Structure 1
Amino acid sequence: MAAPAVALVTGASSGIGRELARLHAEAGGTVVVTARRAGALEDLARDIAADTPGRAIPLPCDLGAPGGARRLIEAVEEDGHEIGVLMNNAGFGGAGRHVERPLQDELGMIDLNVRALVELTHHFGARMAARGGGRILNVGSSAGLIPAGPNQSVYFATKAFVASYSQGIAAELAPKGVSVTVLAPGYVETEFADTANLRGTKLVKTGGRTPRQTAEAGYAAMMKGRRVAYDRPGLGAGLWLARVAPARLVAGLMGRMQETEPGRR
């Protein structure tokens, strides 16, 4: 059996990205892993070498910084890696009322969640299409399939872009042999809650999937060529209901889910 194509995983230092990298290595593949934290990437590479038949190649990069995606593309190509599987996982959120949050943080979220993802997908997707095959997994969120998300308005909007963009290019690239999957998970127990300042909210209090469970759902769907993937039973139906329910009702509910409860932080 031929070894899996070389994969590139962004946001691979922890959470879903780390597990996606491990899954590809467990299948015997080589995976280029990138994130800001070089030490965490080195640890991941050692773990993969010890525990799997695959291997990991760390390429630290800050994709949210100006020119970050271009620098990563150049580093991948300088090392001679032909990427056949792209897994865009890097991203972050931030809770709070939009006009009360620092504008730079909101713009930085757009740069990482949208701009970097588009730049990497455009570059590597074009090369996959020229070769006649490849797979792309964009890690979105169930937030991207809900009409609005007060107290995380920019995050919800970036994930709505990822969902629409992924399904659009899936149709464009299918005739070229390239599949595009968007993973739309519910809440996942990762560092996201801390970086997004969501500890103490009803959203986090309800609990979520493990990064491994969510990564397995996304990886399996990508390998099957599915266009949309969920990480738990019934989530797709629930999101459909959210889209057909009155928008003001859904927005109010989502806003309350993301407010810190009194006495908690």
Structure 2
Amino acid sequence: MPKTALITGASSGLGAEFARQLAARGADVVLVARDRAALDDIAERIRSDHRVQVEVLPADLVTTEGLDAVAARLTDPTRPIGVLVNNAGFGLDLDFARNDIADEERHLDLHVRATMRLTHAALGAMLERGRGRILNVASVAAFLPRGTYGAVKMWIVSFSRWANAEYAARGVTTTAVCPGFTHTNFHERMGLAPGKEGIPGPMWLDARDVVAEALSDAARGKPVSIPSTRYKVLVAVARLLPNGLATRLAKTGR
């Protein structure tokens, strides 16, 4: 396990779970998110539970200043980062025509521009050392026609597959993590009360299981990780469906 991991979107949900599990494996962690108070709370619990070093780095990755600050931390030669988890993200309503275009632009910047910028920063430093792991959190939505959310997640999958093929032989692996619907606060931040997401119970995943499988796949150098057998099957079937049917299927849930 590399000594230090940096996780974006680490104040809650999958990001916080990645931080906990990496710390449990002995890694020091750098926690990145906008909410300083929430980061401090997660940091204190990780220090208490796992006795590792925890650094808090508040940053808004939609801004140039926030990206610059995190990129600088990733490239600091005196405090090398061995694992980068690009997890920060948010969802939007599927009705693109009705969405505020400023929200859509923030959505694009966070999922694509921030992932690209931070991966670039991490890659340079990791390649110099000849080792490192990058995990880019995408979604099974990448394999379905699901608005701009599916589109940005497909970009992450394609980019990660290419980066893994290009740089794994030089010691740096890249894995796109593609979970299905997972019990976190992701949907609450979209304004949806628990139970109102329109998804049947068996399709929900536990964040601990998602992260454990993702870390295992990343350790094996897999370019794409789809946690759980049921979502692996769903993705395989979705790839065979006509576009119209796939589009109707993709409208399920929020």
- Fold-level similarity (TM above 0.5): yes
Query: What's the counterpart of residue 114 of structure 2?
Result: 116
Counterpart check, 1:13 vs 2:21:
no
Deviation at 1:27, TM superposition (A): 1.1
Residue 196 of structure 1 is matched in structure 2 by 190
1:243 alignment counterpart: 239
Q: Quick one: distance in 1 between partners of 2:41 and 2:136?
A: 24
Gaps of 5+ in 1: 260-265
Identity of counterpart residues, as a percentage?
A: 34
- 1:18, 1:80 → 2: CA distance? 25
Which residue in 2 is equivalent to 1:34? 32
Residue by residue over 1:91-128, the C-alpha shift from the partner in whole angstroms, topping out at 9 and shown as x without a partner, is 11111410101000001000001100110001111211
- Please say which of residues 60-69 and 38-47 is displaced more in the overlay: 60-69
Distance, in Å, in 2 between the alignment partners of 1:110 and 1:104 is: 10
Corresponding residue pairs, total: 252
- In structure 1, C-alpha distance between the alignment counterparts of 2:164 and 2:78, rounded to whole Å: 26
2:178 match: 184
What amino acid is the match of 2:163? I
2:116 aligns to what SS in structure 1? helix
Q: Is the 8 A contact 2:2 2:132 kept in 1?
A: no
- CA distance 1:77–1:166, shift in 2 (3 Å): closer
Q: Deviation at 1:236?
A: 1.7
Q: Secondary structure at the match of 2:205?
A: coil
Q: Does 1:167 align with 2:165?
A: no
Pair 136,197 (structure 1): closer, same or farther in 2 beyond 3 Å: same
Deviation at residue 204 of structure 1 after TM alignment: 6.8
Q: Contact conserved, 2:67 with 2:118, CA < 8 A, in 1?
A: yes
Is 1:44–1:56's contact at 8 Å kept on the other side of the alignment?
A: no
**Partner residue of 2:217?**
221
Superposed displacement of residue 51, structure 1 = 0.6
- 1:187-212 deviation line (CA, Å, top 9, x unaligned): 01111112234552323766511222
- From 43, 58, 62, give the equivalent of 1:45: 43
| Cα deviation code 1:165-224 (max 9, x no counterpart) | 100111011121111111111101111112234552323766511222211111121122
TM-score normalized with structure 1 length: 0.89
Aligned twin of 2:139: 141
Alpha-carbon shift at residue 157 of structure 1 (Å):
0.6
SS of equivalent to 2:244: helix
CA distance in 2, matches of 1:77, 1:123: 6
**Residues of 1 paired with 2:226 and 2:162: CA distance?**
18
1:258 maps to what in 2?
253
Go from structure 1 to structure 2 and tell me whether the alpha carbon gap of 1:75 and 1:5 turns closer, same or farther (over 3 Å shift).
closer
4+ runs of 1 displaced by more than 6 Å? Answer: none
Equivalent AA in structure 2 for residue 156 of structure 1? G
Cα distance in 2 for partners of 1:134, 1:253 equals 37
Unpaired runs of at least 5, structure 2: none
SS of 1:191's partner is coil
Change in 2 beyond 3 A, CA 1:248/1:20: same
